[in-house]
């Protein structure tokens, strides 16, 4: 299992567009992907789960990967968040 904390810099937090980009990125990997935020842990491959977290700008989330490509999966998601979801 690989975990990385990252601060969401998107001014509107994890609203529909960045949540969709994040879910799409997670879907590229075989590993189970989760996001932990304020004590809640959700499946990062679920758009409804990601949006239900209600992550706001400048808040910290933990990306968790568990599986055969966990390291590359977590790194890809962290890079995506750092790039402000390519938006």
**DSSP H/E element including 19:** helix 16-26
- How far apart are the two ends of the chain, measured CA to CA in Å? 29
Residue 70 has phi, psi (to 5 degrees) of -60, -40
Q: Is residue 40 a contact partner of residue 34, using CB atoms and an 8 Å limit?
A: no
Please indicate whether residue 15 is annotated as part of the active site: yes
User: Choosing from 4, 9, 15, 56, which is the catalytic residue?
Assistant: 15
What are the residue numbers of the active site? Answer: 15
């Amino acid at each position: 299992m690989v975990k990385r904390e990252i601060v969401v810099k998107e001014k509107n937090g994890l609203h529909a567009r960045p949540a969709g980009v994040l879910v799409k990125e997670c879907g590229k990997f075989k590993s189970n992907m989760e996001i932990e935020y304020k004590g809640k842990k959700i499946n990062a491959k679920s758009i409804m789960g990601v949006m239900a977290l209600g992550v706001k700008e400048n808040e910290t989330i933990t990306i968790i990967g568990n599986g055969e490509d966990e390291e590359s999966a977590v790194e890809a998601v962290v890079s995506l968040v750092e790039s402000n979801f390519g938006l």
